[in-house]
Structure 1
Amino acid sequence: MLTALLQLPFAVHQLIFWVPLRESIKSAFPGMVPVDVVAGTFGSSFTGGGASAEMATFLIIILGFLLARRMEKTLSVKHFTLLAPIVLMPLFLGETKAVLFMLPLMFLVLYRHKLLVRIRYWLLGLIFITIIMLTAGYAYMSFLPEKTQEELIADTIDYNFKERGYGNNYLNRTTVLTFWADNQKISNPVALVFGNGLGASHSATGGHIAIHFPKYGIGLTAASTLLWDLGIFGFGLFVSILILAWRCANQLIRKSTSQMVRADAVAIQAALALFAFYLFYRIGVLELLSFQIVFAMLLGYLAWLYRRHLSENKHNT
Protein backbone atom coordinates (compact mmCIF):
# COMPACT_ATOMS: atom_id res chain seq x y z
CA MET A 1 0.00 0.00 0.00
CA LEU A 2 2.86 2.36 0.81
CA THR A 3 4.25 1.90 -2.71
CA ALA A 4 0.87 2.87 -4.18
CA LEU A 5 0.71 6.02 -2.05
CA LEU A 6 4.22 7.00 -3.13
CA GLN A 7 3.20 7.14 -6.80
CA LEU A 8 1.32 10.44 -6.37
CA PRO A 9 4.22 12.67 -5.20
CA PHE A 10 6.56 11.16 -7.79
CA ALA A 11 3.98 11.56 -10.56
CA VAL A 12 3.27 15.19 -9.59
CA HIS A 13 7.00 15.97 -9.59
CA GLN A 14 7.41 14.40 -13.03
CA LEU A 15 4.39 16.27 -14.40
CA ILE A 16 5.55 19.66 -13.07
CA PHE A 17 9.27 19.47 -13.80
CA TRP A 18 9.97 16.79 -16.43
CA VAL A 19 7.03 17.14 -18.82
CA PRO A 20 7.71 20.86 -19.62
CA LEU A 21 11.38 20.07 -20.25
CA ARG A 22 10.45 17.24 -22.60
CA GLU A 23 7.98 19.54 -24.35
CA SER A 24 10.86 21.90 -25.14
CA ILE A 25 12.99 19.16 -26.76
CA LYS A 26 10.38 16.85 -28.30
CA SER A 27 11.12 18.12 -31.82
CA ALA A 28 14.61 16.62 -31.51
CA PHE A 29 13.23 13.19 -30.59
CA PRO A 30 10.58 12.06 -33.11
CA GLY A 31 7.85 9.93 -31.56
CA MET A 32 8.50 11.13 -28.02
CA VAL A 33 5.35 11.91 -26.03
CA PRO A 34 6.32 14.27 -23.17
CA VAL A 35 3.64 13.12 -20.73
CA ASP A 36 4.84 9.50 -20.97
CA VAL A 37 7.52 10.39 -18.43
CA VAL A 38 4.86 10.44 -15.70
CA ALA A 39 5.47 6.91 -14.44
CA GLY A 40 5.86 7.29 -10.68
CA THR A 41 8.51 4.96 -9.28
CA PHE A 42 8.18 2.45 -12.14
CA GLY A 43 10.87 4.13 -14.21
CA SER A 44 11.09 6.39 -17.24
CA SER A 45 13.64 7.87 -19.62
CA PHE A 46 14.09 11.62 -20.00
CA THR A 47 14.32 11.39 -23.78
CA GLY A 48 12.33 8.19 -24.34
CA GLY A 49 9.25 6.52 -22.97
CA GLY A 50 8.18 5.60 -19.48
CA ALA A 51 6.40 2.88 -17.56
CA SER A 52 3.23 4.93 -17.15
CA ALA A 53 1.04 1.99 -18.20
CA GLU A 54 2.70 -0.24 -15.63
CA MET A 55 2.15 2.35 -12.92
CA ALA A 56 -1.51 2.65 -13.95
CA THR A 57 -2.00 -1.13 -13.93
CA PHE A 58 -0.46 -1.39 -10.47
CA LEU A 59 -2.67 1.38 -9.10
CA ILE A 60 -5.81 -0.21 -10.54
CA ILE A 61 -4.79 -3.49 -8.87
CA ILE A 62 -4.42 -1.70 -5.53
CA LEU A 63 -7.79 0.00 -6.06
CA GLY A 64 -9.23 -3.47 -6.61
CA PHE A 65 -7.89 -4.59 -3.24
CA LEU A 66 -9.40 -1.54 -1.55
CA LEU A 67 -12.79 -2.11 -3.18
CA ALA A 68 -12.74 -5.83 -2.36
CA ARG A 69 -11.96 -5.18 1.30
CA ARG A 70 -14.65 -2.54 1.45
CA MET A 71 -17.08 -5.01 -0.14
CA GLU A 72 -16.32 -7.54 2.61
CA LYS A 73 -16.48 -4.72 5.20
CA THR A 74 -12.91 -5.29 6.39
CA LEU A 75 -12.00 -1.72 5.42
CA SER A 76 -13.88 1.20 6.93
CA VAL A 77 -15.52 3.90 4.83
CA LYS A 78 -13.21 6.44 6.44
CA HIS A 79 -10.04 4.63 5.43
CA PHE A 80 -11.38 3.86 1.96
CA THR A 81 -12.29 7.51 1.24
CA LEU A 82 -8.85 8.53 2.47
CA LEU A 83 -6.82 6.01 0.46
CA ALA A 84 -8.80 5.63 -2.79
CA PRO A 85 -8.35 9.23 -4.08
CA ILE A 86 -4.58 9.10 -3.49
CA VAL A 87 -4.41 5.84 -5.43
CA LEU A 88 -6.61 7.16 -8.24
CA MET A 89 -5.07 10.61 -8.78
CA PRO A 90 -1.90 9.50 -10.61
CA LEU A 91 -4.12 7.85 -13.23
CA PHE A 92 -5.24 11.32 -14.33
CA LEU A 93 -1.71 12.76 -14.55
CA GLY A 94 -0.54 10.59 -17.43
CA GLU A 95 -1.88 9.54 -20.79
CA THR A 96 -2.48 5.80 -20.45
CA LYS A 97 -5.66 5.42 -22.48
CA ALA A 98 -5.87 1.72 -21.61
CA VAL A 99 -7.06 2.85 -18.16
CA LEU A 100 -10.45 3.41 -19.80
CA PHE A 101 -10.58 -0.33 -20.48
CA MET A 102 -8.74 -1.69 -17.43
CA LEU A 103 -10.95 0.06 -14.87
CA PRO A 104 -14.23 -1.47 -16.12
CA LEU A 105 -12.48 -4.85 -16.49
CA MET A 106 -11.33 -4.75 -12.88
CA PHE A 107 -14.79 -3.70 -11.71
CA LEU A 108 -16.58 -6.44 -13.68
CA VAL A 109 -14.35 -9.19 -12.30
CA LEU A 110 -14.52 -7.82 -8.78
CA TYR A 111 -18.31 -7.49 -8.63
CA ARG A 112 -19.29 -10.17 -11.15
CA HIS A 113 -21.34 -12.18 -8.63
CA LYS A 114 -23.04 -9.26 -6.94
CA LEU A 115 -23.94 -7.57 -10.23
CA LEU A 116 -26.26 -10.44 -11.05
CA VAL A 117 -28.19 -10.38 -7.78
CA ARG A 118 -27.93 -6.83 -6.44
CA ILE A 119 -28.93 -4.08 -8.85
CA ARG A 120 -27.66 -1.36 -6.50
CA TYR A 121 -24.08 -2.63 -6.93
CA TRP A 122 -24.53 -2.42 -10.68
CA LEU A 123 -25.91 1.12 -10.55
CA LEU A 124 -23.37 2.45 -8.05
CA GLY A 125 -20.53 0.76 -9.88
CA LEU A 126 -21.69 2.08 -13.23
CA ILE A 127 -21.86 5.63 -11.87
CA PHE A 128 -18.46 5.30 -10.16
CA ILE A 129 -16.69 3.89 -13.21
CA THR A 130 -18.39 6.37 -15.58
CA ILE A 131 -17.24 9.34 -13.50
CA ILE A 132 -13.67 8.03 -13.39
CA MET A 133 -13.62 7.28 -17.13
CA LEU A 134 -15.03 10.70 -18.04
CA THR A 135 -12.51 12.41 -15.76
CA ALA A 136 -9.65 10.34 -17.15
CA GLY A 137 -10.80 10.95 -20.73
CA TYR A 138 -10.92 14.69 -20.12
CA ALA A 139 -7.46 14.61 -18.55
CA TYR A 140 -6.01 12.68 -21.49
CA MET A 141 -7.58 15.09 -23.97
CA SER A 142 -5.92 18.00 -22.17
CA PHE A 143 -2.50 16.48 -22.84
CA LEU A 144 -3.20 16.42 -26.59
CA PRO A 145 -4.88 19.76 -27.28
CA GLU A 146 -3.86 19.66 -30.93
CA LYS A 147 -6.31 16.77 -31.54
CA THR A 148 -10.09 16.73 -31.30
CA GLN A 149 -11.93 13.96 -29.49
CA GLU A 150 -12.89 12.32 -32.79
CA GLU A 151 -9.31 12.47 -34.07
CA LEU A 152 -7.96 10.99 -30.84
CA ILE A 153 -10.42 8.07 -30.94
CA ALA A 154 -9.74 7.41 -34.63
CA ASP A 155 -6.00 7.63 -34.03
CA THR A 156 -6.18 5.15 -31.15
CA ILE A 157 -8.19 2.66 -33.22
CA ASP A 158 -5.79 3.01 -36.17
CA TYR A 159 -2.60 2.18 -34.29
CA ASN A 160 -4.18 -0.61 -32.27
CA PHE A 161 -6.48 -2.49 -34.63
CA LYS A 162 -5.82 -1.41 -38.22
CA GLU A 163 -2.76 -1.50 -40.47
CA ARG A 164 -1.04 1.53 -39.01
CA GLY A 165 2.03 0.76 -36.89
CA TYR A 166 2.43 1.63 -33.23
CA GLY A 167 4.94 4.41 -32.65
CA ASN A 168 7.89 4.00 -35.03
CA ASN A 169 7.08 0.35 -35.72
CA TYR A 170 5.44 -1.13 -38.78
CA LEU A 171 3.28 -3.37 -36.60
CA ASN A 172 0.74 -2.63 -33.88
CA ARG A 173 -0.80 -4.65 -31.04
CA THR A 174 -3.10 -6.52 -33.42
CA THR A 175 -0.97 -6.96 -36.53
CA VAL A 176 1.99 -8.12 -34.44
CA LEU A 177 0.05 -11.34 -33.79
CA THR A 178 -1.18 -11.85 -37.33
CA PHE A 179 2.35 -11.16 -38.60
CA TRP A 180 3.68 -13.94 -36.34
CA ALA A 181 1.02 -16.34 -37.63
CA ASP A 182 1.75 -15.44 -41.26
CA ASN A 183 5.45 -16.20 -40.78
CA GLN A 184 5.01 -19.68 -39.34
CA LYS A 185 5.81 -22.52 -41.73
CA ILE A 186 4.69 -26.11 -41.77
CA SER A 187 8.25 -27.02 -42.72
CA ASN A 188 9.45 -25.65 -39.36
CA PRO A 189 7.04 -26.99 -36.70
CA VAL A 190 9.65 -26.62 -33.93
CA ALA A 191 9.54 -22.81 -34.22
CA LEU A 192 5.75 -22.88 -34.14
CA VAL A 193 5.50 -25.09 -31.07
CA PHE A 194 8.66 -24.26 -29.11
CA GLY A 195 9.73 -20.92 -30.58
CA ASN A 196 13.09 -19.63 -31.71
CA GLY A 197 14.83 -19.24 -28.37
CA LEU A 198 14.90 -16.62 -25.63
CA GLY A 199 15.66 -13.14 -26.95
CA ALA A 200 15.01 -14.07 -30.57
CA SER A 201 12.45 -11.29 -31.02
CA HIS A 202 14.30 -8.66 -28.98
CA SER A 203 15.47 -5.94 -31.39
CA ALA A 204 17.47 -3.98 -28.79
CA THR A 205 19.81 -6.92 -28.17
CA GLY A 206 20.00 -8.02 -31.78
CA GLY A 207 17.75 -11.07 -31.57
CA HIS A 208 18.37 -13.38 -34.53
CA ILE A 209 14.72 -13.19 -35.61
CA ALA A 210 14.32 -9.46 -34.93
CA ILE A 211 17.25 -8.57 -37.22
CA HIS A 212 15.35 -10.08 -40.15
CA PHE A 213 12.46 -7.67 -39.50
CA PRO A 214 14.04 -4.31 -38.66
CA LYS A 215 11.62 -1.63 -37.46
CA TYR A 216 8.72 -4.07 -37.45
CA GLY A 217 8.53 -4.33 -33.66
CA ILE A 218 7.77 -8.05 -33.58
CA GLY A 219 8.32 -8.06 -29.81
CA LEU A 220 5.91 -5.19 -29.17
CA THR A 221 3.76 -7.12 -26.67
CA ALA A 222 4.37 -9.90 -24.19
CA ALA A 223 2.12 -12.21 -26.21
CA SER A 224 4.05 -11.74 -29.47
CA THR A 225 7.39 -12.03 -27.66
CA LEU A 226 6.38 -15.31 -26.02
CA LEU A 227 5.15 -16.69 -29.33
CA TRP A 228 8.34 -15.78 -31.22
CA ASP A 229 10.70 -16.87 -28.44
CA LEU A 230 8.92 -19.85 -26.86
CA GLY A 231 6.19 -20.74 -29.34
CA ILE A 232 2.67 -21.90 -28.60
CA PHE A 233 3.98 -24.18 -25.85
CA GLY A 234 5.75 -21.38 -23.98
CA PHE A 235 2.83 -19.00 -24.41
CA GLY A 236 0.50 -21.69 -23.09
CA LEU A 237 2.72 -22.24 -20.05
CA PHE A 238 2.59 -18.55 -19.18
CA VAL A 239 -1.18 -18.42 -19.61
CA SER A 240 -1.48 -21.55 -17.45
CA ILE A 241 0.14 -19.59 -14.59
CA LEU A 242 -2.77 -17.15 -14.74
CA ILE A 243 -5.37 -19.92 -15.03
CA LEU A 244 -3.99 -21.96 -12.12
CA ALA A 245 -3.66 -18.85 -9.97
CA TRP A 246 -7.30 -18.00 -10.76
CA ARG A 247 -8.40 -21.48 -9.69
CA CYS A 248 -6.37 -21.24 -6.50
CA ALA A 249 -7.97 -17.88 -5.64
CA ASN A 250 -11.38 -19.35 -6.44
CA GLN A 251 -10.85 -22.09 -3.85
CA LEU A 252 -10.09 -19.45 -1.23
CA ILE A 253 -13.24 -17.52 -2.14
CA ARG A 254 -15.40 -20.65 -1.76
CA LYS A 255 -13.77 -22.29 1.26
CA SER A 256 -12.14 -19.64 3.43
CA THR A 257 -13.99 -18.43 6.50
CA SER A 258 -11.91 -15.25 6.70
CA GLN A 259 -13.47 -12.12 5.18
CA MET A 260 -10.02 -10.65 4.62
CA VAL A 261 -8.83 -13.72 2.71
CA ARG A 262 -11.94 -13.82 0.56
CA ALA A 263 -11.62 -10.12 -0.25
CA ASP A 264 -7.98 -10.43 -1.24
CA ALA A 265 -8.67 -13.56 -3.30
CA VAL A 266 -11.31 -11.72 -5.34
CA ALA A 267 -8.92 -8.77 -5.78
CA ILE A 268 -6.22 -11.17 -6.96
CA GLN A 269 -8.60 -12.54 -9.59
CA ALA A 270 -9.27 -9.00 -10.80
CA ALA A 271 -5.50 -8.44 -10.98
CA LEU A 272 -5.04 -11.68 -12.96
CA ALA A 273 -7.62 -10.46 -15.48
CA LEU A 274 -5.59 -7.25 -15.86
CA PHE A 275 -2.40 -9.25 -16.42
CA ALA A 276 -4.18 -11.34 -19.05
CA PHE A 277 -5.15 -8.13 -20.86
CA TYR A 278 -1.63 -6.79 -20.37
CA LEU A 279 -0.12 -9.72 -22.30
CA PHE A 280 -1.60 -8.24 -25.46
CA TYR A 281 -0.94 -4.64 -24.47
CA ARG A 282 2.72 -4.22 -23.43
CA ILE A 283 5.90 -6.23 -22.91
CA GLY A 284 6.82 -4.93 -19.45
CA VAL A 285 5.82 -8.10 -17.58
CA LEU A 286 8.71 -9.84 -19.37
CA GLU A 287 11.27 -7.03 -19.30
CA LEU A 288 10.51 -4.36 -16.69
CA LEU A 289 11.83 -5.35 -13.26
CA SER A 290 9.53 -3.01 -11.32
CA PHE A 291 6.46 -4.56 -12.94
CA GLN A 292 7.80 -8.10 -12.67
CA ILE A 293 8.07 -7.53 -8.92
CA VAL A 294 4.36 -6.66 -8.84
CA PHE A 295 3.52 -9.85 -10.75
CA ALA A 296 5.76 -12.04 -8.58
CA MET A 297 4.51 -10.54 -5.31
CA LEU A 298 0.88 -11.02 -6.36
CA LEU A 299 1.48 -14.72 -7.02
CA GLY A 300 3.59 -15.04 -3.88
CA TYR A 301 0.88 -13.45 -1.76
CA LEU A 302 -1.70 -15.83 -3.25
CA ALA A 303 0.54 -18.81 -2.43
CA TRP A 304 0.96 -17.55 1.14
CA LEU A 305 -2.79 -17.12 1.57
CA TYR A 306 -3.42 -20.63 0.27
CA ARG A 307 -0.78 -22.25 2.50
CA ARG A 308 -2.18 -20.35 5.47
CA HIS A 309 -5.68 -21.57 4.57
CA LEU A 310 -4.49 -25.19 4.40
CA SER A 311 -2.65 -24.82 7.69
CA GLU A 312 -5.72 -23.44 9.45
CA ASN A 313 -7.92 -26.23 8.08
CA LYS A 314 -5.44 -28.84 9.23
CA HIS A 315 -5.29 -27.27 12.69
CA ASN A 316 -9.09 -27.16 12.98
CA THR A 317 -9.43 -30.83 12.08
Structure 2
Amino acid sequence: MKHLFIVNPAAGKKGSTDDLVHRIEAAFEGRDYEIAYTRKCGDAEHLTRAAAQAGGEIRVYACGGDGTLNEAVNGAAGYEHVAITNVPKGTGNDFLRIFGRGYREGFSNLAALADGPQAALDLMDCNGKLGLGVICAGVDARVAADVHKYKALPLVTGTGAYVLSLVVNVLFKGIARPTTVDMGDVHLDGDTSIICICNGRYYGGGFMPVGEAQPDDGVLDMLVVPKVSRTTFFRLVGKYAKGRYRECPDVIFDHHGDTITFSSPADIVAVVDGEVMIDRAFTVRLSERKVNFFYPPDMFWRESLQTANISKGSILENAR
Protein backbone atom coordinates (compact mmCIF):
# COMPACT_ATOMS: atom_id res chain seq x y z
CA MET A 1 0.00 0.00 0.00
CA LYS A 2 1.17 3.49 -0.85
CA HIS A 3 0.68 6.51 1.40
CA LEU A 4 0.35 9.95 -0.22
CA PHE A 5 0.58 13.07 1.93
CA ILE A 6 -0.88 16.16 0.29
CA VAL A 7 0.34 19.10 2.34
CA ASN A 8 -1.15 22.58 2.19
CA PRO A 9 1.79 24.82 3.21
CA ALA A 10 -0.53 27.83 3.53
CA ALA A 11 -2.43 26.19 6.40
CA GLY A 12 -1.26 26.44 9.98
CA LYS A 13 1.30 28.52 11.78
CA LYS A 14 4.78 29.34 10.58
CA GLY A 15 6.95 26.24 10.85
CA SER A 16 4.02 23.81 10.92
CA THR A 17 4.87 22.38 7.50
CA ASP A 18 8.46 21.55 8.46
CA ASP A 19 7.26 20.00 11.70
CA LEU A 20 4.72 17.86 9.85
CA VAL A 21 7.28 16.65 7.31
CA HIS A 22 9.64 15.60 10.11
CA ARG A 23 6.81 13.62 11.75
CA ILE A 24 5.92 11.95 8.45
CA GLU A 25 9.53 10.93 7.81
CA ALA A 26 9.85 9.49 11.31
CA ALA A 27 6.54 7.58 11.24
CA PHE A 28 6.83 6.19 7.70
CA GLU A 29 10.45 5.18 7.51
CA GLY A 30 10.56 1.91 5.57
CA ARG A 31 7.07 2.39 4.07
CA ASP A 32 6.08 3.40 0.56
CA TYR A 33 5.12 7.05 0.92
CA GLU A 34 5.24 10.33 -0.97
CA ILE A 35 4.84 13.98 0.07
CA ALA A 36 3.26 16.44 -2.36
CA TYR A 37 2.53 20.13 -1.82
CA THR A 38 -0.37 22.27 -2.98
CA ARG A 39 0.38 25.63 -4.56
CA LYS A 40 -3.05 26.81 -5.64
CA CYS A 41 -6.73 26.06 -5.28
CA GLY A 42 -7.64 22.70 -6.80
CA ASP A 43 -4.19 21.10 -6.49
CA ALA A 44 -5.26 18.62 -3.79
CA GLU A 45 -8.13 17.39 -5.98
CA HIS A 46 -5.89 16.96 -9.02
CA LEU A 47 -3.15 15.20 -7.04
CA THR A 48 -5.66 12.83 -5.45
CA ARG A 49 -7.36 11.99 -8.75
CA ALA A 50 -4.03 11.40 -10.48
CA ALA A 51 -2.98 9.01 -7.71
CA ALA A 52 -6.32 7.21 -7.96
CA GLN A 53 -6.06 6.82 -11.72
CA ALA A 54 -2.54 5.42 -11.41
CA GLY A 55 -4.06 2.33 -9.78
CA GLY A 56 -2.98 0.33 -6.76
CA GLU A 57 -4.22 0.59 -3.20
CA ILE A 58 -3.44 4.01 -1.76
CA ARG A 59 -4.20 6.07 1.31
CA VAL A 60 -4.32 9.84 0.87
CA TYR A 61 -3.67 12.18 3.80
CA ALA A 62 -5.13 15.66 3.24
CA CYS A 63 -2.90 17.76 5.49
CA GLY A 64 -4.70 21.05 6.06
CA GLY A 65 -8.19 22.23 6.89
CA ASP A 66 -11.66 21.41 5.62
CA GLY A 67 -10.91 22.96 2.22
CA THR A 68 -7.95 20.63 1.63
CA LEU A 69 -10.06 17.67 2.73
CA ASN A 70 -12.89 18.74 0.40
CA GLU A 71 -10.54 18.78 -2.56
CA ALA A 72 -9.27 15.29 -1.70
CA VAL A 73 -12.88 14.09 -1.43
CA ASN A 74 -13.66 15.35 -4.92
CA GLY A 75 -10.56 13.63 -6.28
CA ALA A 76 -11.11 10.27 -4.55
CA ALA A 77 -14.90 9.86 -4.82
CA GLY A 78 -15.96 6.62 -6.45
CA TYR A 79 -12.53 4.95 -6.39
CA GLU A 80 -12.80 1.83 -4.26
CA HIS A 81 -9.01 1.34 -4.04
CA VAL A 82 -8.50 4.84 -2.58
CA ALA A 83 -9.08 5.97 1.01
CA ILE A 84 -8.63 9.47 2.40
CA THR A 85 -8.25 11.13 5.77
CA ASN A 86 -7.58 14.57 7.21
CA VAL A 87 -4.44 15.44 9.17
CA PRO A 88 -5.21 18.65 11.14
CA LYS A 89 -2.99 21.55 10.09
CA GLY A 90 -4.44 24.92 10.93
CA THR A 91 -7.68 25.72 12.74
CA GLY A 92 -10.55 24.57 10.51
CA ASN A 93 -11.22 20.84 10.77
CA ASP A 94 -14.95 20.77 11.38
CA PHE A 95 -15.62 17.37 9.81
CA LEU A 96 -13.25 15.63 12.24
CA ARG A 97 -15.29 16.89 15.20
CA ILE A 98 -17.72 14.00 14.68
CA PHE A 99 -15.04 11.77 16.23
CA GLY A 100 -15.41 13.51 19.59
CA ARG A 101 -13.01 15.32 21.88
CA GLY A 102 -9.39 14.51 21.21
CA TYR A 103 -9.95 14.30 17.44
CA ARG A 104 -7.01 16.62 16.74
CA GLU A 105 -4.58 14.46 18.71
CA GLY A 106 -6.01 11.26 17.26
CA PHE A 107 -5.72 12.34 13.65
CA SER A 108 -2.25 13.76 14.29
CA ASN A 109 -0.93 10.36 15.43
CA LEU A 110 0.35 9.35 12.00
CA ALA A 111 1.66 5.91 12.92
CA ALA A 112 -1.70 4.83 14.37
CA LEU A 113 -3.69 6.54 11.63
CA ALA A 114 -1.78 4.70 8.90
CA ASP A 115 -3.17 1.34 10.00
CA GLY A 116 -6.58 2.56 11.14
CA PRO A 117 -9.91 1.18 9.87
CA GLN A 118 -11.83 2.72 7.00
CA ALA A 119 -15.48 3.08 6.01
CA ALA A 120 -17.40 4.14 2.91
CA LEU A 121 -19.07 7.50 3.67
CA ASP A 122 -21.93 9.27 1.92
CA LEU A 123 -21.35 12.39 -0.13
CA MET A 124 -23.51 15.40 -0.96
CA ASP A 125 -23.65 16.63 -4.55
CA CYS A 126 -24.17 20.41 -4.78
CA ASN A 127 -24.44 21.43 -8.44
CA GLY A 128 -21.68 18.93 -9.21
CA LYS A 129 -19.45 19.87 -6.26
CA LEU A 130 -19.13 17.06 -3.71
CA GLY A 131 -19.19 17.67 0.02
CA LEU A 132 -18.61 15.42 3.02
CA GLY A 133 -19.67 17.54 6.00
CA VAL A 134 -22.13 20.46 5.84
CA ILE A 135 -23.52 22.71 3.12
CA CYS A 136 -25.02 26.06 4.14
CA ALA A 137 -26.73 28.78 2.11
CA GLY A 138 -28.02 31.79 3.97
CA VAL A 139 -26.72 34.47 6.27
CA ASP A 140 -24.28 31.96 7.78
CA ALA A 141 -22.85 31.23 4.33
CA ARG A 142 -22.52 34.94 3.56
CA VAL A 143 -20.74 35.50 6.87
CA ALA A 144 -18.29 32.67 6.11
CA ALA A 145 -17.69 33.88 2.56
CA ASP A 146 -16.93 37.45 3.68
CA VAL A 147 -14.48 36.57 6.45
CA HIS A 148 -11.47 36.70 4.13
CA LYS A 149 -12.26 40.33 3.28
CA TYR A 150 -11.83 41.36 6.90
CA LYS A 151 -8.77 39.21 7.56
CA ALA A 152 -6.85 41.52 5.24
CA LEU A 153 -7.48 44.52 7.50
CA PRO A 154 -4.62 45.62 9.80
CA LEU A 155 -4.75 44.25 13.37
CA VAL A 156 -7.77 42.03 12.61
CA THR A 157 -7.40 38.44 13.82
CA GLY A 158 -9.29 35.39 12.54
CA THR A 159 -11.88 35.67 15.29
CA GLY A 160 -12.14 39.41 14.80
CA ALA A 161 -12.72 38.93 11.07
CA TYR A 162 -15.57 36.52 11.79
CA VAL A 163 -17.16 38.94 14.26
CA LEU A 164 -16.89 41.82 11.79
CA SER A 165 -18.43 39.73 9.03
CA LEU A 166 -21.24 38.65 11.34
CA VAL A 167 -22.03 42.22 12.41
CA VAL A 168 -21.98 43.59 8.86
CA ASN A 169 -24.12 40.79 7.39
CA VAL A 170 -26.67 40.57 10.19
CA LEU A 171 -27.01 44.22 11.21
CA PHE A 172 -26.38 46.07 7.95
CA LYS A 173 -26.96 43.77 4.98
CA GLY A 174 -30.04 42.01 6.33
CA ILE A 175 -30.57 38.42 7.42
CA ALA A 176 -33.00 37.04 4.83
CA ARG A 177 -33.08 36.80 1.03
CA PRO A 178 -35.97 35.87 -1.32
CA THR A 179 -35.73 32.11 -1.88
CA THR A 180 -37.87 29.22 -3.09
CA VAL A 181 -37.10 25.98 -1.27
CA ASP A 182 -38.35 22.43 -1.89
CA MET A 183 -37.36 19.50 0.33
CA GLY A 184 -39.67 16.49 0.51
CA ASP A 185 -43.19 17.67 1.32
CA VAL A 186 -41.90 21.07 2.47
CA HIS A 187 -42.31 23.98 0.03
CA LEU A 188 -41.30 27.48 1.09
CA ASP A 189 -41.58 30.54 -1.11
CA GLY A 190 -40.45 33.75 0.53
CA ASP A 191 -37.52 35.28 2.36
CA THR A 192 -35.18 32.71 3.91
CA SER A 193 -32.52 33.25 6.59
CA ILE A 194 -30.69 29.90 6.75
CA ILE A 195 -30.52 26.72 4.67
CA CYS A 196 -28.36 23.94 6.10
CA ILE A 197 -27.77 20.41 4.78
CA CYS A 198 -25.86 18.03 7.05
CA ASN A 199 -24.03 14.82 6.24
CA GLY A 200 -21.56 15.50 9.05
CA ARG A 201 -22.46 17.36 12.25
CA TYR A 202 -20.32 20.48 12.55
CA TYR A 203 -19.51 23.64 10.65
CA GLY A 204 -18.54 27.23 11.38
CA GLY A 205 -15.98 26.27 14.02
CA GLY A 206 -18.33 24.27 16.27
CA PHE A 207 -21.97 24.83 15.26
CA MET A 208 -23.86 21.52 15.43
CA PRO A 209 -27.28 22.02 13.76
CA VAL A 210 -28.19 18.30 13.68
CA GLY A 211 -26.44 16.40 16.46
CA GLU A 212 -27.73 13.01 15.31
CA ALA A 213 -26.45 13.32 11.73
CA GLN A 214 -24.50 10.28 10.50
CA PRO A 215 -22.18 10.35 7.48
CA ASP A 216 -22.99 6.79 6.42
CA ASP A 217 -26.76 6.41 6.91
CA GLY A 218 -27.89 7.37 3.40
CA VAL A 219 -29.81 10.38 4.73
CA LEU A 220 -29.19 14.12 4.44
CA ASP A 221 -30.50 16.14 7.39
CA MET A 222 -31.86 19.49 6.20
CA LEU A 223 -32.92 22.61 8.10
CA VAL A 224 -34.49 25.79 6.76
CA VAL A 225 -35.08 28.97 8.77
CA PRO A 226 -37.46 31.45 7.08
CA LYS A 227 -37.30 35.20 7.56
CA VAL A 228 -37.06 36.19 11.24
CA SER A 229 -36.41 39.43 13.06
CA ARG A 230 -32.96 40.21 14.39
CA THR A 231 -34.26 39.69 17.93
CA THR A 232 -35.60 36.24 17.03
CA PHE A 233 -32.42 35.41 15.12
CA PHE A 234 -30.15 36.08 18.09
CA ARG A 235 -32.55 34.22 20.40
CA LEU A 236 -32.68 31.29 17.98
CA VAL A 237 -29.03 30.96 17.05
CA GLY A 238 -28.00 29.38 20.37
CA LYS A 239 -30.51 26.54 20.01
CA TYR A 240 -29.66 26.14 16.33
CA ALA A 241 -25.94 25.87 17.14
CA LYS A 242 -26.58 23.18 19.76
CA GLY A 243 -28.77 20.91 17.63
CA ARG A 244 -32.02 21.82 19.38
CA TYR A 245 -33.98 22.50 16.20
CA ARG A 246 -36.92 20.32 17.30
CA GLU A 247 -37.66 22.85 20.06
CA CYS A 248 -38.44 25.49 17.42
CA PRO A 249 -40.83 23.90 14.88
CA ASP A 250 -42.45 27.27 14.15
CA VAL A 251 -39.22 28.84 12.88
CA ILE A 252 -37.02 25.87 11.88
CA PHE A 253 -38.34 23.47 9.24
CA ASP A 254 -36.58 20.10 9.05
CA HIS A 255 -36.55 17.30 6.51
CA HIS A 256 -34.52 14.10 6.41
CA GLY A 257 -34.17 12.71 2.90
CA ASP A 258 -31.96 12.79 -0.17
CA THR A 259 -32.68 15.99 -2.11
CA ILE A 260 -33.27 19.71 -1.62
CA THR A 261 -33.57 22.47 -4.23
CA PHE A 262 -33.47 26.22 -3.67
CA SER A 263 -33.37 29.19 -5.99
CA SER A 264 -33.57 32.99 -5.96
CA PRO A 265 -33.83 35.85 -8.46
CA ALA A 266 -30.54 37.12 -6.99
CA ASP A 267 -27.21 35.35 -6.45
CA ILE A 268 -27.11 32.80 -3.62
CA VAL A 269 -23.91 32.15 -1.69
CA ALA A 270 -23.50 28.48 -0.76
CA VAL A 271 -20.60 27.08 1.24
CA VAL A 272 -19.66 23.42 0.75
CA ASP A 273 -17.28 22.25 3.48
CA GLY A 274 -15.83 25.75 3.58
CA GLU A 275 -15.65 26.15 -0.22
CA VAL A 276 -17.71 29.04 -1.61
CA MET A 277 -20.10 28.66 -4.56
CA ILE A 278 -22.31 31.36 -6.11
CA ASP A 279 -25.35 30.66 -8.30
CA ARG A 280 -29.05 31.47 -8.50
CA ALA A 281 -30.28 27.87 -8.28
CA PHE A 282 -28.91 24.91 -6.36
CA THR A 283 -29.79 21.25 -6.14
CA VAL A 284 -28.20 19.29 -3.32
CA ARG A 285 -28.69 15.54 -3.43
CA LEU A 286 -27.21 12.39 -1.97
CA SER A 287 -24.49 11.40 -4.42
CA GLU A 288 -24.36 7.97 -6.01
CA ARG A 289 -20.64 7.98 -5.27
CA LYS A 290 -19.06 7.39 -1.88
CA VAL A 291 -15.61 7.99 -0.49
CA ASN A 292 -13.53 5.70 1.72
CA PHE A 293 -12.41 7.49 4.87
CA PHE A 294 -9.89 6.06 7.34
CA TYR A 295 -9.54 7.10 10.95
CA PRO A 296 -7.71 6.30 14.23
CA PRO A 297 -8.38 2.78 15.55
CA ASP A 298 -9.60 4.07 18.92
CA MET A 299 -12.14 6.56 17.49
CA PHE A 300 -15.54 6.16 15.81
CA TRP A 301 -18.17 8.74 14.92
CA ARG A 302 -21.08 6.68 16.27
CA GLU A 303 -19.38 6.36 19.65
CA SER A 304 -18.98 10.13 19.79
CA LEU A 305 -22.68 10.70 19.04
CA GLN A 306 -23.74 10.34 22.67
CA THR A 307 -20.96 12.71 23.73
CA ALA A 308 -22.14 15.22 21.15
CA ASN A 309 -25.71 15.09 22.41
CA ILE A 310 -24.74 15.40 26.05
CA SER A 311 -22.47 18.37 25.38
CA LYS A 312 -25.01 20.32 23.36
CA GLY A 313 -25.46 22.61 26.34
CA SER A 314 -22.13 24.23 25.60
CA ILE A 315 -21.06 25.14 22.09
CA LEU A 316 -17.67 26.06 23.51
CA GLU A 317 -17.15 22.47 24.64
CA ASN A 318 -17.96 21.21 21.16
CA ALA A 319 -15.41 23.60 19.70
CA ARG A 320 -12.50 22.27 21.75
Q: Which category describes the TM-score, using the shorter chain as reference length?
A: under 0.3
TM-score (norm 2): 0.26
Larger RCO of the pair (alpha carbons < 8 Å, separation 6+) = 2
Larger Rg: 1
TM-score (norm 1): 0.26
Q: Which has the higher strand share?
A: 2
Q: Which has the higher helix share?
A: 1
